[in-house]
Amino acid sequence: MLDKATCSIAQQKQVETDLLLLAELKKEKGLVEIKDDRLKELAEKGIIAVVCPDGDHSIDIFGHLCQYSHRVHTAALNGGAMLMSPSNLRFGLEGRALTNSVSGAWQMEKGKTVLLLSHWPCGQARADDIRLAWVIKDTLDADNKLTHTLGVGSEVVLPLFHVDWTPFEKNVELKRRRTYVIKKRCYDLLLPHLV
């Protein structure tokens, strides 16, 4: 979790820049909040969820998913779904491990919907110096790659992004978190930020 007291001024400015980008993506419908009805529908026959095990986010995400399904099969590594993008520097080992885990769960019929979740702020992205725009782009790329790998339609694999809009708030009850579907139009909206 980010702590404003220990963040440098540069880190605080980057957080502010990231929040502005997220607000822009939301306004331009590149990120669209997922509705409870949609989650309920997706969860009906089980979910395979690729998540980041970050303790500041995983309980919120996993707890939310479990409200809709008692069949949530998870594959989790630090960084979550973004690791499954061939352009991610961790794709070689971690990304392939997640892809193999999801493929195996799919073949064993552990779920009928695959949710690819990344989140912000992300400690793994920060450690690897991966900017927010690339985290979202990599999550979309992971969606395309996994859809192809599984040989399924685009309605089966869903890229999601979990946002903590209050990254410096320590009190969990005061946090404002939302989960968004990453729309394909995000590619165009992110282009100016991928330099």
Q: pLDDT 10s per residue in the chain (195 long)?
A: 577 777 788 888 999 999 999 999 999 999 999 988 888 888 888 899 999 887 666 667 767 777 777 788 889 999 999 999 999 999 989 999 999 999 999 999 999 999 999 999 998 999 999 999 999 999 999 999 999 999 999 899 999 999 999 998 888 889 898 999 999 999 999 999 998
Residue 71, classified by CB atoms within 10 Å of its CB into exposed (0-12), middle (13-18) or buried (19+), is middle
Q: Which CATH class is domain 9-193?
A: alpha beta
Tell me the whole-structure pTM to 2 decimals: 0.92
- Angle, nearest 10°, between helix axes 96-107 and 132-150? 40
Domain spans, the chain: 9-193
Q: Which helix (H) or strand (E) holds 48?
A: strand 47-51
Q: How many CB atoms lie within 10 A of CB 27?
A: 10
Q: Measured between alpha carbons, how far is 113 from 121 in angstroms, rounded to an integer?
A: 25
- How far apart CA 36 and CA 80 sit, in angstroms, is 22
Report which secondary-structure segment, H or E, holds 118.
strand 113-120
